[in-house]
Amino acid sequence: CLTLNPRLPDCRLLRPSLSPTTPCPNKPCFLYPVSASPCPALGSPRPAAARDPHAPPLFSRSRTGLFFQAQPQLKNPFLEDPLLGRYLRRHLPHQQAVFSDLQAFGERISDEVDAWGRECEVNPPRLVPFDPWGRRVDHIVTSPAWQRMKELSASEGLVAIGYERSCGEWSRVHQMSKLFLYSPSSGLFTCPLAMTDGAAKVIQSLGVPPAVDSAYRRLTSRDPERFWTSGQWMTERRGGSDVAAGTETLAEPQPDGSYRLHGFKWFTSATDADMTLTLGRVVGRDGSIPPGSRGLSLFYAEVRRDPQGRLEGIEVQRLKDKLGTRQMPTAELLLDGLPAHRVSEGRGVASIANMLTVTRIHNSVAAAAAMRRVVQLARDYATRRSAFGRRLQDHPLHLQTLARMEVEARAAFLLVMEVSRLLGREETGVASPLDRHLLRLLTPVLKLYSAKQAVAVVSEGLESFGGQGYMEDTGLPGLLRDAQVLSIWEGTTNVLSLDVLRCVARSSGLVLQAYFTQTQALLGHASRLPPLAPAVGALEGALSALGVFVEEAAARPPSYLELAARDLAYSLARIYMGQPPHVV
């Protein structure tokens, strides 16, 4: 009874130093008041209070007891997150409009949208490949809630805000703040939004033919009737990391200048999208197929049906059976003459680089948001749940665990906002060379680290609900399943760690120079606050160790740095977030 396990048979086994006459410090002793034998510490068991013989039984077949645990409540996620409010108050010039927008949206999320998200989870999409008479129809049937999410995304401007730019260079911060509130309640609709945003960005940056230009207006529309979502069909059966080696899709030129695509796309997410950007290799007049990364072209295709209701040039092979993200249709697609327009000739990987940047930032927003949501619920639960005679919030160890989760959630949030700020500056033409280098370096760093943080923090968060965190109908396990994909799609941790090395090499080290300049400047600001002195000292030490490591690594063979790539990326993330790394 002196430890946390009251079922062990004898106090003395747990604490041999306890003599039979020592009073038990645990009051009442968990074991002996109900035991037949006397507790060596407390003496004889207390006599049970006499019960009224006419009172109804406390437990019987018809009664299940009187206690029911109060469940955690989702409140307005904007008002519940003081850090978001503080960050915006500190930085944003157009505060009032943004605050009103986020507060109203937060209200909507807790009042209605969160329930739609749950509906998407319990009513996942299904494929109807044939009609009753055997004709192919390839219908992906989604829940009404999923369709409402699309209307909501348009009317709330979840993509549009980034392109209207009414907050100037802070527009991306506004947009990502809104997505940050929305993500854990969105039923994964943030996935099609990420790809839609990425596609809009690519189209905008490439400057493209009129057919594609009208698609751009739809992708960035606030009108639910006009709004389109986009897919990003990049992964084929050979895999999704080495895009150049993995892309076998062929593009057959047509007399009118368009193309027909033939290939097999192995993972296509949010396959109910209205259009897609995808990669393929243009077949030459002599039948030649251009190899490698430079042989890849980028294509725009609409997902349309012919007058008979058949998908034009697409067969949906099957929906994927996934660990999480079940709310969202992910399919294998056979492209069988899909009509398409080429939007970039060769240099396909470089053409989608903008999309990679945008979708990786969205991924990180989802990671930070998952952490914020689980911490918010766990904190609320700690005020409602009692154990060992106290509410969870009054147990110092529980509070410490919540505090550690909170620190991780805040660190991820601040880095997400920093990279969103840099993107906004780049898009509005006010970015300095330092901003541009930081954006290139910090995007993969943020994505890879926040995804790992999300899995760890959400897992810890589930534990803080005990067994209830493991029960499907609480909605909590879905948070963990959905977090697991964040480190896999849009570039795995190792692929992104190597991307960090690649951008260091291609910039001749300028991205790292920018990193050191910026972190030193940030530490300079922080050092003016005396309570931060120990943290600043630790970070300065880590930064200087990182500098030594980089110098030494530059003198070694490339394989040395390759092996250190993950640790290097983690260190870059942790120092920028203000958390001294475990390894430099």
Identify the residue among 240, 253, 339, 477 touching ligand MFK (CB under 6 A): 240
485 is a site residue for ligand MFK (CB under 6 A): yes
Among 175, 325, 401, 450, binds ligand MFK (CB under 6 A): 325
Q: Strand (E) positions, 241-308?
A: 250-253, 259-269, 275-282, 297-302
Neighbours of 579 (CB within 10 A): 16
Residue of minimal CB distance from ligand MFK?
A: 240
- CB of 266: closest distance to ligand MFK in angstroms? 8
139 binds ligand MFK (CB under 6 A): no
Site for ligand MFK in 65-84 (CB under 6 A): none
- Run of H or E including 343: strand 330-344
Q: How far is the CB of 489 from ligand MFK (least distance, A)?
A: 4
What 8-state DSSP symbol labels residue 44?
S
Residues in the chain: 584
Is residue 499 a contact point for ligand MFK (CB under 6 A)? yes
Q: How far is CA 441 from CA 338, 349, 540, 576, in A?
A: 36, 18, 20, 12
| Binding window for ligand MFK (CB under 6 A); candidates: 14-22, 353-361, 515-523, 527-535 | 353-361
Taking the complex as a whole, the smallest distance from the CB of residue 31 to ligand MFK amounts, in Å, to 49
Judged by CB under 6 A, the residue of 327, 330, 344, 493 near ligand MFK is: 330
In DSSP terms, 259 is beta-bridged to 253, 340
Between 349 and 572, name the residue whose CB sits nearer to ligand MFK. Answer: 349
Binding of ligand MFK by 322 (CB under 6 A): yes
**Does 246 interact with ligand MFK (rule: CB under 6 A)?**
no
Q: How many CA atoms lie within 13 A of 322 on its CB side?
A: 27
Do 458 and 370 contact (CB within 8 A), yes or no? yes
Contact flag: residue 349 with ligand MFK (CB under 6 A): yes
Of residues 76, 142, 143, 235, which one binds ligand MFK by CB under 6 A? 235
| C-alpha torsion sign, points 172, 173, 178, 184 | positive
What residues contact 362, with CB distance under 8 A and at least 6 apart?
179, 190, 193, 194, 197, 198
> Given the rule CB under 6 A, which of 142-150, 239-247, 299-307, 524-532 is the region that contacts ligand MFK?
239-247
| 489 contributes a contact to ligand MFK by CB under 6 A | yes
- If one asks whether residue 357 binds ligand MFK (CB under 6 A), the answer comes out as yes
Q: Does 486 bind ligand MFK (CB under 6 A)?
A: no
- 186: contact with ligand MFK by CB under 6 A: no
Ranges of beta strands (E only) in 365-502 are 386-387, 390-391
Instruction: Rule CB under 6 A: say whether 578 interacts with ligand MFK.
Output: no
Q: Which of 492, 233, 175, 227 is nearest to 362 (CA)?
A: 175
Residue 234 engages ligand MFK in binding (rule: CB under 6 A): yes
252 in the Ramachandran plot: left (φ > 0), alpha (ψ -120 to 50) or beta?
Answer: beta
In the structure encoding, which two tokens stand for residue 570, read together?
């983690």
Q: With binding defined as CB under 6 A, does residue 484 bind ligand MFK?
A: no
501 binds ligand MFK (CB under 6 A): no
Q: Which is nearer to ligand MFK, 143 or 269 (CB)?
A: 269
Contact with ligand MFK (CB under 6 A): which of 490, 518, 575, 578? Answer: 490
How many Å apart are CA 188 and CA 193, to the nearest integer?
Answer: 9
Task: In angstroms, give the least distance from the CB of 406 to ligand MFK.
Answer: 29
Looking at this protein, which amino acid is placed at residue 165?
R
Which residue from 329, 308, 312 is spatially nearest to 320, judged by alpha carbons? 329
Residues of this chain, 118-137, that bind ligand MFK according to CB under 6 A: none
Secondary structure element (H or E) that encloses residue 548, with its range: helix 533-554
Between the alpha carbon of residue 276 and those of residues 191, 391, 561, the distances in Å are: 13, 51, 37
| Separation between Cα atoms, residue 74 and residue 435, nearest integer Å | 37
Nearer to ligand MFK, 294 or 582 (CB): 294
In 143-239, at which residue ranges do the beta strands (DSSP E only) sit? 230-233, 235-236
CB of 415: closest distance to ligand MFK in angstroms? 17
For residue 234, the minimal CB distance to ligand MFK (Å) is 5
Q: Does position 243 bind ligand MFK by CB under 6 A?
A: yes
DSSP annotation string for 93-144: SSHHHHHHHHHHHHHHIIIIIHHHHHHHHHS--EEEEE-TTS-EEEEEE--H
Cβ proximity to ligand MFK, 331 vs 543, nearer residue = 331
Query: Per-residue string for binding with ligand MFK, 256-295, x by CB under 6 A?
Result: -----------x-x-----------------------x--
Least Cβ distance, residue 448 to ligand MFK (angstroms): 11
Kindly state whether residue 505 participates in binding ligand MFK, applying the rule CB under 6 A. Answer: no
Q: Which of 263, 313, 461, 491 binds ligand MFK (CB under 6 A)?
A: 491
Verify binding: residue 350, ligand MFK, rule CB under 6 A: yes
Q: Contact positions toward ligand MFK, by CB under 6 A? A: 234-235, 240-241, 243-244, 267, 269, 293, 322, 325, 330, 349-350, 353, 356-357, 485, 488-491, 495, 499, 502, 506
